[in-house]
Each structure stands twice: as C-alpha cells, then as structure tokens.
Structure 1
Amino acid sequence: MRLRHKPWAKEKLEQYPQYVISQPESLKGKWGTVFENQQPLHIEIGTGKGRFITEMARANPSTNYLGIELQESVIVSALDRIIEAEIPNVKLLNANAVDLPQYFEKGEISRIYLNFSDPWPKVRHEKRRLTYKSFLQIYEELLPKQGEVHFKTDNQGLFEYSLTSFSQYGMLLKYISLDLHKSDFEGNIMTEYEEKFSSKGNRIYRCEVQFR
C-alpha cells in the first residue's frame, strides 16, 4: 500500500514537543526525566498510527511507553491519537531503529514490541527485517539481561523466519501462538493492522522471546 505523503507532518510534530521527542541523543541515560518518573520503559518499534502504544499506556499507567516510527506521515496520526487520549505515560520518537543505541543506555528499555513489521519478503532485503540478527544485536544492547521482545504478525513466512532467527541467536522462546485470537492469551491489544487483517480471517501469530 502506497504511503500518502503529508508535507505538513514535520511541522505538526515540531509543534508538540510534550509528546514528540526531539534530540533523543541528549537523553541517553536520562529517559526518566522525560516522563518525570523512574517507571519501566517499553518501546514499540514501528508504532504506525499509535493504537497499540496508546492503549497499552492507558491500560498500564505504571509503565512508560515510547512509540518509534520512521515515517513522519505515519507517526503524525499516532500524535493525533495521543493528543486526544491525554495520557501522560506515552511519547513518540520519529527515528530509525538502527540509531537506537545512540539514544539509550544498556537496560534503559525494559521491553520491546514489534507489531506487524514490514516482512521484506525478497531474500535480498533480509537485512531490513526487524527480526534479522543485526537488529537482535541492537535489542540486546538496549535491554537488560533476560530482556524480552514481543512480536506479532499476520505473515506466516515472517513469523517462521523470525522464530528461526531468534533461535539461532540463542534466545529463549517463552511463548508462541499460531492463532492468537483463538488462544487463551488474555489482555491482547490490537493494532490497526491486526484488526484489519483478523477481520478478513487472517491468522495472527505472536511470540515472546527472551535474551539469555
């Protein structure tokens, strides 16, 4: 699906510094100051239009949430959602995942969510997949020992690839669901894509993995 360009998005993001983080490199080791507390910080890489991260923040006020999205024309929709919600424990960061080690100290992030990431199905694009080993190395740099990554997708090929990638990296597979919406998993919060795909009958895959 082609992304509709919003030339005004950058300016709008700059108008809301209370929600959209600028100069994140200056916050390395000091993210508690952004939320004015020392609660655990969970991040979603590829936050899209922000439904998941906003509803997670609403449901878990004792945890801080940061939605990370590369595309300005997408994250501006997440900003609209957060403005409307008026929830203090959720912020946004317009950034590329490969740059995250520049912004966070080891252990400063408590959990990482990957929801409906681009599958990059062509073999030559493997290194762009957010579950490729180079990204797993980044996540390991950011998380504390035994930190977790929670992953959801409707793409069976990406899910199978990711399970292999996690295993080859030496991660512990703590939870696997091959059909999330027919499982006994409680407390699932859907993304926009999840609602769209599941309404069409698509199976949703989910796993929780842990660094050793």
Structure 2
Amino acid sequence: MRVRKKKWAIPYMDKHPEYLINDPEKYLGKWENRFKNNAPIHVEIGSGKGQFIIGMAKKHPEINYIGIEIQDSVLAMAVNKAVDNQLPNVQLVLTDGKDVDSFFEKGEIQKLYLNFSDPWPKTRHEKRRLTSPKFLQSYQNVLPKNAELEFKTDNRGLFEYSLVSLNNFGMKFSSVNLNLHHSDEEIIANNVETEYEEKYKEKGPIYKIVAQFT
C-alpha cells in the first residue's frame, strides 16, 4: 500500500532518538543498551502506525519491544505514540525486515510478530512474503529453539500459504485460529489489535497462527 509522504515525519523522528533507530546493525548483540535492562525482547516486523507494539508494551512492561517498519511516514506515527506514552520498553527501527539476522544475534530476541503483512498475491512475488522460506530462515537465525512466531492476517490466500510454508519449514503449531474475533472470551481479551485489524475485523475473519521453531 502506497503511503502519502508526510513532510513532518523525518524531522519529528530526528528529534526523538530515544525511540528511533536508523542504524540497527550497530546494536548487534547489544540491544540491552537501548533498554537499560535484560528483559526479554519481542520484535514486530511491519509495525505500521504502532498501535500493536505500543499496546503490547503498555500491557507487558516486563517485556521489551522492538518495532520494525520501512515507511518513514508511517513509523513517525508510532514514534509519536511512544513519545505520548513515555514508554521505556519500546524501540522503533526504520529499516527493512528482511535483514533481521544482520542486526540481532542468535537468541537475542525471544519472540516475533507478523501482523497483516503484505500478501504479495502474485506467484512471482512469493519470495517477498514474510512467511516465505527465506524469511523464515532469517528468523530462525536469530530466535532461540522453540521460540514463537505469531502471525495474523485477514487474507485467506496468505494464511493458507503461510500454513504450508511454516509446516514445510518444520515448525510446530501451537494454535491455528480461523476466526480470531469469534473465539472464546479469554482469547479475545488477550488480543491486542493493530489499526488495520480494528478497522476490518467486522468485514471478514481474522486468521491467526502461533508456531514454534524447532
């Protein structure tokens, strides 16, 4: 999805280096320096405007969260949310999620979230899907054994592709939900929504997969 450029975005983010990172490679093996503690680190690739990552950080202060987003005009809104909430357990990275194994060491992060990723529906674009084998390998390179990957989408094609891709990669499924917002009350209560999810959850099912790297 093309996002309209916002002239204020980059200057605003430049004023808040306490939340924004442009050069994640320099923190390889040293991410605790950004958080000043040794709490577990969870990462979201494709954070968008930040509603999910900020919501998780508020709900779980015992966990450190890193949101990765490639579009500066979108990430600026996530930075704004972090500033407004003054959260010590959030960092936001302006970069491409395909390079995670170039700025995290093995075992440095404990969990990964993929929320409403671009489905790249054309066959020739399969390698761009965030659940394709190439991406799964990069995630496995940085996550410890048995670490979880949580995936949500409203795109049936991407959901089905992801089920097959994760299975073929040898991952173990903890749960597969075909209609997240019609689950039991506890699952719904523990679900933190993205902006997209909040807007489109009534228009069709939201699919969710939780799987572990073995």
Cα deviations by residue, 1:34-76 (Å, 9 ceiling, x for unpaired): 1000000000000000000001000000000011000111101
Of the three residues 203, 208, 211, the one matched with 1:209 is 211
- Which residue in the other structure is 1:173 paired with? 173
- Which residue in the other structure is 1:7 paired with? 7
Aligned equivalents of 2:176 and 2:134: distance in 1?
Answer: 22
- Which residue in the other structure is 1:53 paired with? 53
Shift of 1:19: 0.5
Write the mapping of 1:95-134 to structure 2, written as runs, cut at 5 A.
95-134=95-134
Q: Which residue identity lines up with residue 136 of structure 2 in the other structure? A: L
Contact 2:105 2:142 in 1 (8 A): yes
Contact 2:22 2:95 in 1 (8 A): no
Please say which of residues 75-84 and 133-142 is displaced more in the overlay.
Answer: 75-84
**1:196 pairs with 2:172:** no
Q: Secondary structure at the match of 1:139?
A: helix
Aligned equivalents of 1:28 and 1:34: distance in 2?
Answer: 11
Contact 2:66 2:93 in 1 (8 A): yes
Shift of 1:170: 0.5
Q: How many residues align?
A: 211
Q: Which residue identity lines up with residue 65 of structure 1 in the other structure? A: Y
Aligned equivalents of 2:134 and 2:2: distance in 1?
Answer: 27
Normalising by structure 2, we get a TM-score of 0.96
Q: Which runs of 5+ in 1 are unaligned?
A: none
Aligned equivalents of 2:169 and 2:182: distance in 1?
Answer: 29
Aligned equivalents of 1:123 and 1:80: distance in 2?
Answer: 37
Q: Which residue identity lines up with residue 104 of structure 1 in the other structure? A: F
Shift of 1:98: 1.8
**Percent of counterpart pairs with the same letter?**
50
Cα deviations by residue, 1:149-187 (Å, 9 ceiling, x for unpaired): 000001111000000000000000111100001112240
- Which residue in the other structure is 2:143 paired with? 143
Aligned equivalents of 1:2 and 1:113: distance in 2?
Answer: 22
RMSD: 1.0
Normalising by structure 1, we get a TM-score of 0.97
Please say which of residues 84-93 and 45-54 is displaced more in the overlay.
Answer: 84-93
Shift of 1:5: 1.2
